[in-house]
Structure formats: C-alpha cells, structure tokens
Chains A and B, each alone.
Chain A
Amino acid sequence: MFGFAATKLNEFEQGKISRRQLIETITLAATAVGAAESAHAAPAQVGVTAAAVNHVSYTCPDFKKAADWYSKVFNLDQIDPKATEVTLPFGKKGEQPYNVTAKDVPLTFLIMRTRDLNAPPANGAAPRPKATNVVNHMAYTVADFDSARVQAQLKALGVENIRATGANAIHMTDAFGYDVEICGLANSALTDGA
C-alpha cells in the first residue's frame, strides 16, 4: 500500500492526475485492502450449522424389501434405483423441505442399501472404523398426527409391534425389526424427555 500511495502521489505532483483523482484512488485502494486484511484476520468459524438432515443411510440384507416397507408406510416414491440401493425422497421434485426457509436445502431422503459395511473402500480410501455406538431408532415427523387414528392406519397397513409412547409418538418395527418412531409436530427437543 505504501508503494501504491507513493506512486499515485508522484503522478499527482507530476500533474498526471488531479487532486480529486488522487484522493479517490487512494481511498478506494485503502478501503479494499483494509477489508481484505480484516477478513483474513477474522477467527475461523468453529463447526457448521446444519439446516436439515440430508439423508439417512440404511443398510440391511434386502434393500428392496426395506424400501417397499417405507414406501408403503410413508407414501414415499422410489427413485434412482441401482443394483444395491434405492433412494426415497420425502416429497416430489421441486418441493421445499418442511420448515426450511433456505432455498439451497434439498428434500431429506432415505437411501436403502445392501452392502458389506466392513468391506474395504473400492477407491482405496481408509477403511471405515468400527463404530461403537448405534443409532437405535429413527424418528420421523408426520402430518396430521392423531395417535389413535395413526395407530389404526398402521395396523391396517400390517405394521408390527405398534406401541404408543405418549400423546405425540408411536413406535413400531420395520421390515427388519428396526425401531421406527413417528411423531406429531408437537414433539421437539423441548418436549422429548422433558
């Protein structure tokens, strides 16, 4: 910046630029450089902010059987079928995720897969570590939740092991005995476990 200012000052003294041009040029340059330095000096953001769950990866012995169960119970389409997996988005193309205002957030979706989680990655990447936790159930929010009516619907659909757990939630098991919970809009981080 020092050299730039000196150059411009020389040009002014030599009559190459006017007083106004000198002031404007140096002001603009100083402002731009200052902003860049300020941004560079800002502390790095720690962690990210998730706008929504993007997808849930579900692995089982028969992904088609799982996909059919979720399609039936939640009215989900199956798209982009592959040899060992299929995708089930929570809505139609172009729809906005529920309760998300940002326009660059896709619909949440399930990926039903059949694969060996212990197999080494095909691309030569580091092997997946052996997880010592378990996601022991997934809970989904459904529209127009009424416990008695939803239980009757689930029963009519042939869903097994239906258990109401309070006014806003019902548990069940899916085609592979995985625990699935469905909730009404009233169930949130404030109310669950309160």
Chain B
Amino acid sequence: MERFIADLVKSFESGKIDRRQFCETVALATTVYAAGSAAEAAPARGLKMLGVNHISYACSDYKVARDWYAKVFNTKIYNDKGMGRANLAFGGPEPGKGGAFIITRNFGANEKPAGAVVDHVCYTVANWDDTRVNNALKAAGTNPTGRKGSVNVYDPFGYQVQIASIDGENPFI
C-alpha cells in the first residue's frame, strides 16, 4: 500500500494526475484494502454440507461391482467407457443438482491405505415394507439379514451394504 501511495504522489507531483484523480484513487484504494483485510481477518468457517455426492468404490474388477449394484439398486450406468470405471446413479441425475452415485473402479496403481476406513454405507429406501424389501433383495440374488426396518447384504467383494427405512436408521430417533 505504501509503495502504491508513493507512486501516486509521484504521479501527482509530476502532473500526470490532477488533485481530483489523486483523491479518488486514494479513496478507492482504501476501500479495496479494507475489504481485503476484512476477508483475511474473518474467522475460518466450514462449508455447508448438502449430501453425499458419490462413493468411490475400488476393487479388482469394476464390472463385477457395477453389475451387482445396478441389479440390487436398479441404478442407471453412466460414463462407462470400458476404461476401468463406471458411474451408477441413484435417480436422476439431474444437471445442477449434485447427483448421488457410486463410482465403481478398478484399483489404481498407487492406492495408499489411509488410517481410517469407510466400513459400510447405508442407503435409505422410501415407502418401506419389510417383506417387500427382503423379497426384492432375494430376487436380486442376495441374502438379506437384519431386523425390522434395516437389513444387511454383502456385495461380491465382501463389502457390507446396509439398507434401511426412516425408522430403522435415523439420527434423531
């Protein structure tokens, strides 16, 4: 800022800018500077979470996972170019609404284990009926076990998949 003002004074003194231009420029520079300082001084705030965008599922054969999730969850398949990955969408996707989907992909060359693991993901089924859900999962070739309002199945890679109703899994009940 000091350097900027010094240059401005120099311009004024040399006649490159008049008094009015000098004052206007100083005023504008002050406003911009104050805004920048305020932004820097603002407390760090977190982001507004809307939902899960996607689940990145890596395995030895993405096609096996793709076909299983497509069958069990009636998902649509997008962007499968035979290049080791495919997107499986729950509903939609409607452009501009974020979407919710699983990416099944082959293991990458540089998969590094983290110090944490997502050991299962649970999905909500609306208009829940225990008998209907269990029959539908059995018809899809799975062996559901569980309780009223919540069942578990294992996918072809031994990964736990939970399916629940609003009563079966609800953070506020």
Contacts and interface: CB of A to CB of B under 8 A. Distances in A.
- Among B47, B48, B137, B164: residue with most chain A CB under 10 A: B47
B158 interface: yes
B111 A134 contact: yes
Contact of A45 (B46, B92, B124, B132): B132
A96 B95 CA distance: 20
Nearest to B136: A45
Interface of A is mostly: loop
Interface in B62-115: 65, 71-74, 76, 78-79, 85, 87-101, 103, 107-108, 111, 113-115
A73 B90 CA distance: 26
Given A106-B172, A135-B118, 19 more contacts: A47-B139, A48-B73, A55-B169, A58-B116, A58-B117, A59-B119, A90-B51, A99-B98, A106-B166, A131-B158, A133-B57, A133-B58, A134-B113, A136-B58, A138-B118, A157-B44, A189-B88, A189-B99, A190-B87
Interface residues of B, number: 85
B21 interface: no
Among A60, A139, A182, A184, max chain B CB count under 10 A is at A139
A117 interface: yes
A193 B85 contact: yes
B45 interface: yes
Q: How large is the interface on A (under 10, 10 to 19, 20 to 34, 35 or more residues)?
A: 35 or more
Given A132-B59, A133-B59, A137-B56, A61 B51 contact: no
B92 A188 contact: yes
Contacts of A125: 145
A144 interface: yes
A141 B97 CA distance: 9
13 contacts: A45-B132, A53-B121, A53-B122, A54-B162, A58-B116, A58-B118, A74-B48, A75-B47, A140-B50, A181-B53, A183-B53, A189-B99, A193-B79
A109 B171 contact: yes
A35 interface: no
Interface stretch (A4-12, A20-28, A171-179): A171-179
A93 interface: yes
A58 B73 CA distance: 22
B115 A188 contact: no
B51 A141 contact: yes
Most chain-B Cβ atoms within 10 A of its Cβ — which of A57, A131, A133, A156?
Answer: A133
Interface in A150-194: 150, 153, 156-158, 173-174, 176-179, 181-190, 192-194
B60 interface: yes
A131 B157 contact: yes
A75 B45 contact: yes
B6 interface: no
Contacts of A73: 46-47
Contact of A98 (B58, B98, B121, B140): B98
